[in-house]
């Protein structure tokens, strides 16, 4: 079965006539946790058009696919006609979300934030229809908040509760500092929720404590507490259990080319296939059960379909995923490596395989040494392992899974 085609067709299709029961299954299959689920069911059954909030801070110029996970849930609401507000945290980015941080985030300048925002909306637009959502910058209302109004909000928060966060406690135990600004981060998020009077807020499970305080602040302002729907945190491609992060070197950037993206999807462990599908595809319970069986029976094909689906989803075109799949199969199944696939390195007298590759700076020297010790440097023609200290000869070699080199 071609799950990539099935899920892409649904992602690009019209959901206006989708029964509520199926839509709820799709939403629930994307969740890790929630606050206020019973009220959410009531709102769905009443057919009320809900106000949905999703916030993102422009703390870097590019996003990776882990940031896309809650955007897919945003899309589920957008396709059912609910009112979506995407909040660009131009104010809160100056502080930085402390969730999951082992140290205080370096403060960003207004200029850095402005530069990052130039690319943010373009990248978000690859997954969410910008013409159908409302983009707001939270400086719009936070800049207008008076010191008196801010202190009124602070009085709604129990400081001992705010300091019970695991990330804060671990940092203090390790002798690291926690700034007052970081403690106030969730308060500013609460001001966003009050400004919108939103029904639902969407984010990752790492936002749980922030969302709890947003609900407290809404209640303190006489509003109905928002419902919080939280998606899983995407594990990185290294399969060591750590979340996807550029700093860990286990991320897939949104702006990477389709072939590189496809290859990185293929590098994940089999146990990650279903969680990745859950994060990016829209599936009902029946399809979820079918997919689980399919993955168990043919994980390699399932992984190819996962990679094809995501590449096609970003391009909104199934042929793009098919092209990336064909390229992957040419290189790794048929083992046909063309000159344009290779990085050309000119050999110098006395070059060993290690010195030639080290000079090319394809990776850090420590990582390169790990490649050699793990027997991951091989001749493409005959599959022979390349000895680290052997004299390099002209020809094509593969370094790791996806780097091809042509020594000349």
Q: Are strands 51-56 and 200-204 parallel, antiparallel or unpaired?
A: parallel
Residue 173 has pLDDT above 80, yes or no: no
* Cα 223 from Cα 193, distance rounded (Å): 10
Cβ-defined contacts of 155-158 (< 8 Å, 24+):
156/216, 156/217, 156/220, 157/187, 157/213, 157/216, 157/217
Q: How far is CA 268 from CA 2, 239, 244, 261, 368, in A?
A: 20, 6, 12, 12, 20
* Cα 269 from Cα 7, distance rounded (Å): 21
Task: Output the CA angle 245-305-297, nearest 5 degrees.
Answer: 105
* Whole-number pLDDT of residue 181: 77
Residue 104 has pLDDT above 70, yes or no: no
The residues pairing with 137 across neighbouring beta strands, listed in sequence order, are 88
Question: Residue 384 corresponds to which tokens in the numbers above?
Answer: 């022979």
Q: Tell me if 312 sits within 8 A of 318, measured CB to CB.
A: yes
CA 317 to chain centre: 21
Condensed to tens digits (0 to 9), the pLDDT of residues 77-94 reads: 999 999 999 999 888 887
Share of the chain above pLDDT 70, in %: 96
Question: Residue 291 corresponds to which tokens in the numbers above?
Answer: 């997919």
- Fold of the domain spanning 33-231: Rossmann fold (3.40.50)
* Whole-number pLDDT of residue 189: 92
Q: Tell me if 405 sits within 8 A of 399, measured CB to CB.
A: yes
* Whole-number pLDDT of residue 278: 98
- Fold of the domain spanning 341-407: 3.10.290
* Whole-number pLDDT of residue 97: 63
Look at the alpha carbons of 68, 73, 79, 84 in this order and tell me if their dihedral is positive or negative.
negative
Q: Are strands 33-35 and 200-204 parallel, antiparallel or unpaired?
A: unpaired
Task: Output the CA angle 22-27-33, nearest 5 degrees.
Answer: 140
Q: Minimal CA–CA distance to 266: which of 255, 252, 254, 253? A: 252
Share of the chain above pLDDT 90, in %: 63
Beta-carbon-side half-sphere exposure of residue 328 (alpha carbons within 13 Å): 26
* Whole-number pLDDT of residue 98: 62
Q: Tell me if 33 sits within 8 A of 224, measured CB to CB.
A: no
* Whole-number pLDDT of residue 46: 93
- Please report, for the chain, the start and end positions of each structural domain, with discontinuous segments joined by +: 1-14+237-336, 33-231, 341-407
Residue 309 has pLDDT above 60, yes or no: yes
Task: Provide the 10 A C-beta neighbour count for residue 183.
Answer: 18
Condensed to tens digits (0 to 9), the pLDDT of residues 235-293 reads: 999 889 999 998 888 999 999 999 999 999 999 999 999 999 999 999 999 999 999 99
Residue 228 has pLDDT above 70, yes or no: yes
Task: Provide the 10 A C-beta neighbour count for residue 212.
Answer: 16
CA 328 to chain centre: 23
* Whole-number pLDDT of residue 100: 56
* Whole-number pLDDT of residue 178: 76
Residue 198 has pLDDT above 60, yes or no: yes
Residue 3 has pLDDT above 90, yes or no: yes
* Whole-number pLDDT of residue 300: 96
Q: Minimal CA–CA distance to 337: which of 399, 387, 389? A: 399
Condensed to tens digits (0 to 9), the pLDDT of residues 126-157 reads: 999 999 999 999 999 999 999 888 888 888 87
Domain 1-14+237-336 has CATH 1.20.1050: no
Condensed to tens digits (0 to 9), the pLDDT of residues 322-379 reads: 999 999 999 887 778 877 888 999 999 999 999 999 998 888 888 899 888 888 899 8
The residues pairing with 397 across neighbouring beta strands, listed in sequence order, are 379, 405
Which value, in Å, is the radius of gyration of the alpha carbons in the chain?
24
Which of 10-24, 59-73, 90-104, 372-386 shows the lowest per-residue confidence on average (mean pLDDT)? 90-104
State the chain's mean pLDDT as an integer.
90
């Amino acid at each position: 079965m071609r799950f990539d085609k099935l899920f892409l067709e649904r992602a690009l299709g019209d959901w206006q006539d989708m029964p509520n029961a199926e839509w709820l299954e799709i939403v629930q299959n994307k969740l890790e946790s929630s606050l206020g689920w019973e009220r959410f069911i009531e709102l769905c059954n009443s057919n009320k058009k809900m106000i949905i909030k999703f916030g993102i801070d422009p703390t870097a110029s590019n996003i990776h696919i882990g940031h896309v996970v809650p955007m897919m849930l945003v899309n589920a609401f957008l396709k059912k006609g609910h009112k979506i507000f995407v909040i660009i945290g131009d104010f809160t980015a100056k502080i930085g979300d402390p969730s999951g941080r082992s140290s205080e985030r370096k403060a960003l300048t207004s200029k850095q934030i402005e530069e990052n925002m130039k690319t943010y909306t373009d990248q978000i637009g690859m997954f969410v229809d910008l013409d159908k959502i409302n983009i707001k910058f939270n400086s719009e209302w936070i800049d207008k908040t008076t010191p008196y109004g801010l202190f009124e909000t602070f009085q709604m928060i129990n400081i001992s509760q705010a300091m019970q966060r695991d990330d804060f406690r671990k940092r203090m135990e390790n002798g690291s500092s926690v700034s007052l600004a970081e403690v106030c981060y969730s308060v500013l998020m609460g001001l966003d929720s009050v400004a919108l009077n939103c029904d639902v807020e969407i984010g990752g499970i790492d936002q749980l404590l922030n969302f709890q305080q947003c609900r407290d602040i809404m209640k303190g302002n006489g509003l109905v507490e928002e419902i919080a729907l939280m998606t899983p945190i995407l594990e990185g491609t290294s399969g060591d259990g750590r979340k996807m992060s550029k700093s860990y070197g286990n991320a897939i950037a949104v702006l990477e080319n389709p072939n590189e993206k496809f290859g990185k999807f293929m590098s994940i462990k089999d146990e990650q296939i279903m969680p990745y599908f859950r994060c990016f595809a829209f599936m009902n319970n029946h399809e979820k059960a079918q997919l689980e069986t399919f993955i168990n029976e043919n994980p390699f094909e399932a992984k190819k379909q996962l990679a094809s689906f995501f590449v096609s989803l970003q391009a909104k075109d199934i042929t793009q995923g098919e092209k990336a799949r064909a390229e992957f199969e040419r290189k790794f199944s048929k083992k046909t490596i063309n000159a344009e696939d290779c990085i050309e390195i000119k050999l110098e007298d006395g070059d060993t395989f290690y010195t030639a590759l080290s000079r090319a700076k394809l990776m850090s020297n420590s990582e390169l040494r790990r490649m050699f010790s793990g027997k991951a440097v091989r001749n493409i023609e005959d599959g022979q392992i390349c000895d680290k200290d052997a004299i390099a000869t002209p020809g094509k070699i593969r370094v790791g899974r996806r780097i091809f080199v042509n020594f000349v």
